Amino acid sequence: MKIVRLKTAVVEGNFDWTFVRIETDEGIRGLGECFFAPGLTSILRSLEPLLIGEDPRDIQRLFRKMQLATSGAGSVAGIVYNAISGIEAALWDVLGQWLDVPIYRLLGGKFRDRIRVYADCHGGQALESLDEVLRSRHASWEASKAAHTAKDYFSQAGDDLPSSPEDYRRRALAKRAEGFTALKFDLDVPGTEGPDPYNRVLSNRAIDHMVSLIGAVYDAVGKDTDIAVDCHWRYNASDVVKVARELELFRLLWLEDPVPPNNTAALKEVNSKVRLPIATGENLFLFEGFQEIIAQHALSIVTPDLQKVGGLSVAQSVAQFADVHTMPVAPHNISSPVGTLASAHFCAAIPNFLALEFHASDVPFWNDLVEGMPKPLINRGFIALPKKPGLGVTLNEEVARRYARRGEPFFE
């Protein structure tokens, strides 16, 4: 079997869901999804000639071939691995279909038949659609028809209405009613801005507001629901410790990305001073990105993103190393059902799986993007493991085309 083509398409969800399709001379087509990035489909097009004529079943060798070919441009990390991650997943889909077995079989078989999913609740309200540099946009499927002013996600201008404990409480009760047993809320929301958006410093007023938001969630659902919170690597170590200590009484599932994840010492400082599990990983690449922080126990819960970290094999090596260090794995995930189900195969095949993220509650066509499994894909907070060969679903191209990002090729 030989690869004859690589095609891409981008769907405008709440993020750019970027699909890669590997086509073979035997008619088998593999589907993968990449984490968004500036210039991503251009990178994918650059990788295509490396794959043409190759046997798609040689997954590990093709990974190494792409890694070597791009090594001068970014051998240790970076968005080239967003592209490689999607390609690698598509190769697993080809191999699974060729062998007539689901991907989780190829990863060593399953520990579980259904995958626990946690709902990302953002700041208590719907997350706007964001482009590849995290600027808000008005996507075609969004209900609001009001004129949209694009904003930078990280600007924190302080001119938005503060997030309210009541919003957090309502969102928590709604997601709990849908059956989710774990929820995640953001701490870096309107009302928590300091006087300077760049210096990583938190005020007491911001800390009090954060505690009131998470307290509202805990009072509403905290007895029977796990609660995680996310800081998006915004703060300095000593200030985020102040927040975390106040949040200890809510017995959080985890505190995510308190400080930039590539500073092991800062992460370790927070992890050692706080009686809450510290989670990080969505911005780390390859096994090497995790090796030091796991070995030094600078974190407690590992959160790789399967559409970015380098692929399913890389994620397996991270999970095995984390397991040796008794750390659970809770994959980050902002993808369409394509990436979510690839992650689900991985989650089934590792012993130390905790929960998989779902970030698209507000996207009305999320379930409609794939065919081949009963809907809704997430039922009472769990995804049933796909039973069909390979990934287990195909893309509904009619739906995908309806929401395709303008200016991007659509499998052309």
Contact residues: Mg ion, CB under 5 A: 230, 256
Least distance (Å) between residue 98 CB and Mg ion: 35
Q: Which is nearer to Mg ion, 33 or 93 (CB)?
A: 33
Amino acid letter, residue 126:
A
Least distance (Å) between residue 56 CB and Mg ion: 32
Which of 60, 83, 33, 74 lies closest to 359 in space, CA to CA? 33
Least distance (Å) between residue 283 CB and Mg ion: 9
Question: Residue number with the shortest CB distance to Mg ion?
Answer: 230
Least distance (Å) between residue 322 CB and Mg ion: 17
Q: Which is nearer to Mg ion, 93 or 256 (CB)?
A: 256
Place of tokens 């195969």: 345
Q: Which is nearer to Mg ion, 88 or 230 (CB)?
A: 230
Least distance (Å) between residue 358 CB and Mg ion: 13
Q: Which is nearer to Mg ion, 91 or 187 (CB)?
A: 187
Least distance (Å) between residue 332 CB and Mg ion: 6
3-state SS, residue 153: coil
Least distance (Å) between residue 119 CB and Mg ion: 13
Q: Which is nearer to Mg ion, 167 or 256 (CB)?
A: 256
Three-state DSSP string of 21-77: EEEECCCCEEEEEECCCCCHHHHHHHHHHHHCCCCCCCHHHHHHHHHHHCHHHHCCC
Least distance (Å) between residue 229 CB and Mg ion: 10
> Could you tell me if 370 and 395 are in contact, meaning their C-beta atoms sit under 8 angstroms apart?
yes
- Strand runs (DSSP E) across 158-310, as ranges? 182-186, 226-230, 254-256, 278-280, 301-302
Q: Which residues contact 161 (CB under 8 A, 6 or more apart)?
A: 190
Which of 292, 259, 291, 290 lies closest to 274 in space, CA to CA? 259
**DSSP string covering 203-218:** -HHHHHHHHHHHHHHH
What does the alpha-carbon distance between residue 311 and residue 231 come to, in Å, rounded to a whole number?
25
Q: Which is nearer to Mg ion, 94 or 306 (CB)?
A: 306
Q: Which is nearer to Mg ion, 116 or 308 (CB)?
A: 308
Q: Which is nearer to Mg ion, 356 or 395 (CB)?
A: 356
Task: Report angle CA 388, 390, 393 to the nearest 5 degrees.
Answer: 60
Separation of first and last alpha carbons in the chain: 22
What does the alpha-carbon distance between residue 191 and residue 205 come to, in Å, rounded to a whole number?
9
